[in-house]
């Protein structure tokens, strides 16, 4: 594979799809899906594979998939994972990348959403965990707090987020600090339970267990 993550991050076509998708979601009231999110997902996914002992090649694939995973939002939020996979395939066909690597990236993107997807290999598994664990206060776009919906409150309440990979225990743990005066645990799980269960299944694909700790207490 000749194309690399650093080149993907600078690709104007990809950047325009990310920015248009984020703009669309902003109008619809969604949280941030800009390069801040896609870079975090890319690098967190690579960290997971690195800590779990997977190859640098697999880490590079997941970084590319992570950076591109939300480009489908430029078409529509519904089925954005599948649209993203198709867009990624069209873009990557014009780049110096093997068919096998291109298909791995496209498949990971197309399977990352909890409504229709799930982990099918280690690249898609790491992408899912990285994406679904990106909950943080600064994902809330600028708006009046009185206009916050439940998604805004859940993200705004998170004042600390750390993902820990323990190779010896074969455990991937999301550690959150939540201001429960902003968001109750019931609200958090109302929004994120499906994503956490998807992350648990993805961790199993990596031979690990996924757990969630909130304010020092194990909740999953």
Do 168 and 94 touch, CB atoms closer than 8 A? Answer: no
Rounded mean pLDDT of 211-220? 94
Taking only the tens place, the pLDDT of each residue in 143-157 is 778 888 888 999 999
Q: What distance lies between CA 58 and its chain's CA centroid?
A: 16
Q: What distance lies between CA 94 and its chain's CA centroid?
A: 25
3-state class (DSSP) for residue 220: coil
Cα torsion angle, 25, 26, 30, 31, sign? positive
Taking only the tens place, the pLDDT of each residue in 52-87 is 999 999 999 999 999 999 999 999 999 999 999 999
Rounded mean pLDDT of 32-51? 98
3-state secondary structure 72-139: HHHCCCCCHHHHHHHHHHHHHCCCCCCHHHHHHHHHHHHCCCCCCCCCCCHHHHHHHHHHHCCCCHHH
User: In the predicted model, what is the mean pLDDT of the chain?
Assistant: 95
C-alpha separations of 133 from 1, 64, 91, 194, 210 in Å: 28, 18, 27, 12, 11
Q: Give ∠ CA 189-122-138 in degrees, rounded to 5.
A: 40
- How buried is residue 59: exposed, middle or buried, by Cβ count under 10 Å (0-12/13-18/19+)? buried
Name the architecture of domain 5-218: Orthogonal Bundle (1.10)
What pLDDT was estimated at residue 1? 63
Taking 70 as the threshold, does the pLDDT of residue 37 lie above it?
yes
- 179 vs 113: CA distance, rounded Å: 27
Taking only the tens place, the pLDDT of each residue in 8-34 is 999 999 999 999 999 999 999 899 999
- 152 vs 163: CA distance, rounded Å: 21
What pLDDT was estimated at residue 145? 82
Taking the CB of residue 20, how many other CB atoms lie within 10 A of it? 14
């Amino acid at each position: 594979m000749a194309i690399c993550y650093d080149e993907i991050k600078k690709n104007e076509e990809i950047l325009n799809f990310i920015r248009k998708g984020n703009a669309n979601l902003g109008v619809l009231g969604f949280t941030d899906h800009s390069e801040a999110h896609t870079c975090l997902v890319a690098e967190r996914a690579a960290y997971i594979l690195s800590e779990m002992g997977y190859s640098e090649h697999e880490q590079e694939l997941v970084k590319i998939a992570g950076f591109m995973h939300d480009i489908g939002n430029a078409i529509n939020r519904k089925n954005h994972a599948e649209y993203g996979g198709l867009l990624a395939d069209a873009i990557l066909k014009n780049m110096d990348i093997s068919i096998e690597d291109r298909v791995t990236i496209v498949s990971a993107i197309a399977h990352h959403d909890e409504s229709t997807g799930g982990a099918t290999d280690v690249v898609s598994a790491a992408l899912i965990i990285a994406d679904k664990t990106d909950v943080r206060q600064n994902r809330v776009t600028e708006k009046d707090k009185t206009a916050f919906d439940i998604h805004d409150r859940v993200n705004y309440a998170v004042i600390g987020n750390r993902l820990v990979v323990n190779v010896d225990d074969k455990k991937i743990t999301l550690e959150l600090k939540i201001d429960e005066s902003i968001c109750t645990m019931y609200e958090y799980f109302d929004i994120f339970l499906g994503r956490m269960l998807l992350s648990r299944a993805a961790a199993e694909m990596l031979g690990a267990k996924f757990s969630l700790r909130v304010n020092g207490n194990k909740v999953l």
